[in-house]
Amino acid sequence: MKKTIVILLLAAFGYFLAITFLDPDFEKDRNRNGVKNVYLEKTVSELKTANTVTAIVVNFRGFDTLGEVTVLFLAASALGSILFKKRHHVGERSITLPASSIVSTGAKLLFPAIILLGVYVFVHGHLTPGGGFQGGTIIATGFLLMLISYRNFSISHNILSVIESLAGILFVVIGLMGFINGGTFLQNFMPTGTLNNLFSGGIIPIIYILVGFKVATELTGLIYTILHEKG
């Protein structure tokens, strides 16, 4: 009885998914009044940002990005609080297999390069593909590599949480400065410079760098917490 109902519900769900997504008519240009043309035009003319995706993520819909940063912060703290009681003392690991010498030697070489790539990706977020979220994740993978290659590699949880907090605070403060200077929250209040320069786009690169720091520290903290969980 229960199973029949479940199957029927799933069938109905599938039917509605099918009728809409088999023929979504995406190619038809019925969005003449939509937002996309304004985004494409204003990104170049007013925000002086080469990467339209970044302009949308950080400026047009910057409020959503602030929300998503908060979601990540919440998820990281939630995991921390759930695993809190289970955590070992500093230095103890749940995984205790030693890494081979190839991995540990290679990790030493790769680590600075990975960090540099991550920093490059989030500093150039307004010019090239990528940005704060991607760059931050790349940096966290660098720390993951070091953590699995060296058993005595440790990061201070306090420093991570201070950097994370400062990045978040600065994001909101920059938003509020737009509020005080220009009129609305997250509005640009700095000179926008010329298109395609490193120093262009007003507050967009600054916010993306802060997002980069925040994502990097949060994900590193997450990896560190999980790695030190009692099995």
Partner 1 sequence: MVGSPVLLIAIPLLAAFLIPLLGIFWKELVRIIPGLVLGYLTILSASLYIDVLNTGTIVETIAGWRAPWGINLVFSPLTGFLATLMTFIGFIIWLYSYRFKRNVEFEAAKKYFIFLMLLVAGSIGIVITGDIFNQFVFIEIVGISAYALTAFYTGRNSAEAAFKYLIMGSLSASALLIAIILIYSQLGTLNMAEIAANIHNMPPQYRVTAMIFFIIGIGVEAEIFPLNGWAPDAYTEAPGPVGSAFAGIVVKAGIYAMVRMMFTLFDISGPMQILIIIGMITLVVAETSALRQVQLKRMLAYSSIGQMGLVLVAFGMGTKAGVFAALFLMLNHAIIKPLLFFSGSYLVFNSKEKNISEMSGLGKLMPFTAAFFALGSFAIVGLPPFAGFWSKLSVLTAAANDGLLLIIAIVLLVSIVEIVYYFRVINRIYFFKFDKATSVVPHKPRVNALIAMAILAILILVIGFYPDSVSEILNRASEDLLNTPDYIKNVLSTGQSLTY
Residues forming contacts to partner 1 in the complex (CB under 8 A) are 16-17, 19-20, 24-26, 30-31, 33-36, 38-39, 42, 46, 59-64, 66-68, 70-71, 73-75, 77-78, 80-82, 84-85, 158, 161-162, 164-166, 168-169, 172-173, 175-176, 178-179, 182-188, 192
Q: How far is the CB of 55 from partner 1 (least distance, A)?
A: 10
User: What stretches of the chain show up as alpha helix (H) in DSSP?
Assistant: 2-21, 36-45, 52-54, 62-82, 101-123, 132-149, 157-181, 204-227
User: CA-to-CA distance for 219 and 196, rounded, in angstroms?
Assistant: 30
User: In degrees to the nearest 10, what's the CA dihedral of 27, 28, 30, 31?
Assistant: 10
CB of 160 to partner 1, least distance (A): 10
Cβ neighbours of residue 62 closer than 8 Å, sequence gap 6 or more = 175, 186, 207
Comparing CB distances to partner 1, the nearer of 31 and 105 is 31
Residue 123 C-beta: closest distance to partner 1, Å? 22
Q: How far is the CB of 109 from partner 1 (least distance, A)?
A: 34
Per the document, the length of the chain is 231
Q: Which is nearer to partner 1, 35 or 113 (CB)?
A: 35
Nearer to partner 1, 52 or 192 (CB): 192
Q: In the complex with partner 1, which residue's Cβ is closer, 20 or 100?
A: 20
Q: Which of 220, 95, 106, 114 is nearest to 157 (CA)?
A: 220
Considering beta carbons, is residue 100 or 181 the nearer one to partner 1? 181
Determine the 3-state secondary structure of 14 from DSSP.
Answer: helix
**Shorter beta-carbon distance to partner 1: residue 150 or 179:** 179
Residue 204: CB minimum distance to partner 1, A: 10
Local structure of residue 114 (DSSP, 8 states): H
Instruction: Assign 158 to helix, strand or coil.
Output: helix
- Compute the least distance from the CB of residue 152 to partner 1, in Å: 25
Phi, psi of 229 (to 5 degrees): -80, 145
